[in-house]
A and B are shown apart, each in its own frame.
Chain A
């Protein structure tokens, strides 16, 4: 019954390669978010979207870009992966001031 799915669930990639993570929702929520989670830092916002083609930067956006061409899909691209981008990436959806629903996460390792 998952209304939000992330793919891939795990990925290992080499330094310098581009990587795209996908978030797909079936809830028709307006807001979508990409976070990364690292030990000691909690969840930090990378980018978010408030509608089709409407996106904005979060606190750790350097090295990342996003696109939202359809309500249901929010893509996160690491333009040239670095080891510091090894992390767990979570996508989330929400409506207005309600709480978030998170996807299951993507574990990315950059070697």
Chain B
């Protein structure tokens, strides 16, 4: 079983739609969680950290469910510019590195 699993998609949605991605992780003791965004042929960039209480940044909302070991990302009012691959990232305990999901591809269409 992979340490971090994501639905690869692709998700194809119209502009203005709300879309949600889920991610599950295997190590229940994991401590830090992030969502990264990666545009085609570019490097991943930090979108937002995920906190236990949930957090919001504009149209983006991230939530963590420790009991079920999953993380979610909700994008409201999708824009064309949201088209990208979204990577779920988890920091295991006692590690100095992080583990990446394979990514979920989103395409927002006019």
A contact residues vs B (CB 8 Å cutoff): 31, 33, 35, 40-45, 48, 50, 56, 58, 90, 97, 99-105
Cβ of B10 within 8 Å of any chain A Cβ, yes or no, is no
B contact residues vs A (CB 8 Å cutoff): 4, 8, 31-32, 34, 36, 42-46, 49, 87, 89, 91, 96-98, 100-103
* A-B pairs under 8 A by CB, number: 44
User: Could you tell me the distance in whole angstroms from the C-beta of A82 to the nearest C-beta in chain B?
Assistant: 23
Task: Give 11 CB contacts A-B under 8 Å.
Answer: A33-B97, A40-B8, A42-B87, A42-B100, A42-B103, A44-B100, A99-B36, A99-B89, A100-B44, A101-B46, A102-B43
Evaluate contact between A48 and B100: CB separation under 8 angstroms.
no
Contacts A90-B43, A97-B31 hold; do A58 and B100 have CB atoms under 8 A apart? no
- A45, A58, A105: the one contacting B43 at CB < 8 Å is A105
User: Could you tell me the distance in whole angstroms from the C-beta of B38 to the nearest C-beta in chain A?
Assistant: 9
